[in-house]
Structure formats: C-alpha cells, structure tokens
Chains A and B, each alone.
Chain A
Amino acid sequence: DIQMTQSPSTLSASVGDTVIITCRASQSVSPWLAWYQQKPGKAPAVLIYKASTLESGVPSRFSGSGSGREFTLTITNLQPDDFATYYCQQYYGDSRAFGQGTRVEI
C-alpha cells in the first residue's frame, strides 16, 4: 500500500506568515493528491484536489503544487481562521491513505 508522510508535524506561525507543508508518497501518486483542513470537533474539508486545483469556495491564499511523489500545500497571508490541522490524501492506488497531519498553531 502507498504510504504518505507529511512534514512538519507541527508548525508555529503568526498571522500574515506564509507556511509550507510537505507531503511525500512512497510511490508516484500524480495527480491524485488532495489536501484537507480539519478544525477541532469537525469533519475535514477539502481545500485542494488533483494536487493543485482549488476547491470551489476555498480562499486563494491556499495553493497546492507538486507531482510524482512530492507535494506541497502553501498558505500565504495566514489568517486566524487558518490555525487548524492539515492532511494530505492520495487516491491513486487501491488505498486512500492520509498523511499523519500537520498542526498549524499560533
């Protein structure tokens, strides 16, 4: 099964910062990689799909890039509402594995 590794596991940032989260797959999963945001007590919500396509309604300060095995989620001009946990997920193979998550904290 495809394994997903995210880094860092925790990230400290301030409002207005740019943050970058990395996700690496154990094999190529292009282009089938999505990013999700989860807030405490809530279900995840999709931000980016197909590695770089912004989901409808998601602010443009979120962007995704990458191909093959390595992908990044970039949040520019970090807003108070963005402090949350972020997950990548591949949907290329027979599994739908998630990364272990990156908590973005103040």
Chain B
Amino acid sequence: KAGVTQTPRYLIKTRGQQVTLSCSPISGHRSVSWYQQTPGQGLQFLFEYFSETQRNKGNFPGRFSGRQFSNSRSEMNVSTLELGDSALYLCASSPTGTGGTKNIQYFGAGTRLSVL
C-alpha cells in the first residue's frame, strides 16, 4: 500500500505570492490533516478535512486554506506569502480521524516551502 504522498517536495516563492501544496492520502483513508513545522514554533496543527468538509481548524490566519476532493486528496493554499511562512508543511492521513484503533495518523515526507 502506498504511503502518504506530498508534492512538491520543495518550493521557493517570494513574498506576496501564493502557493498550493498537494497531499494524496493512503488509499482508503478519508481524513487528512495538515501541520506546519518550524524551528521556532515546532509542529502546529493547521486544519483537518474529512469527506470534503473541514472538520477542525487550528489557530492560523485566513491566508491559510485548504480543501479536499471526493477521492480524499487534499490541497493546501497559502495566499500573500510572508517570510514567516517558510516551513515544512506536513500532511497526515488516517482512516476516519476519530477515536479508537483508527486514530493513528500517517505522515508524508512534507513540502519544504522557502519564502524569499
């Protein structure tokens, strides 16, 4: 079974631009979560999608948005990029995203975004 796939692996953008990151979950997984990882703030939860609906949202500004498609693939968009948005963006999938034995999140390798 293929793991979580994130594309692209690396991105370089300039301030003010926008960017779209993609995540393909493990086959059969319906929940996709996004995290931002930076040296200063560590790992922070961005949002979670389940069945094309945003179910949970972290404490990030509205410039960060996402969506999920009917095949469970997800995209994350950041508009009006700032220098502080430079980070590793990680996507994780799980079967249902709820409790019990199905609550394990499996991570992709991440997309490293550099904003110049």
Question: A and B, one complex?
Answer: no
> Residues on B close to A: CB < 8 A?
none
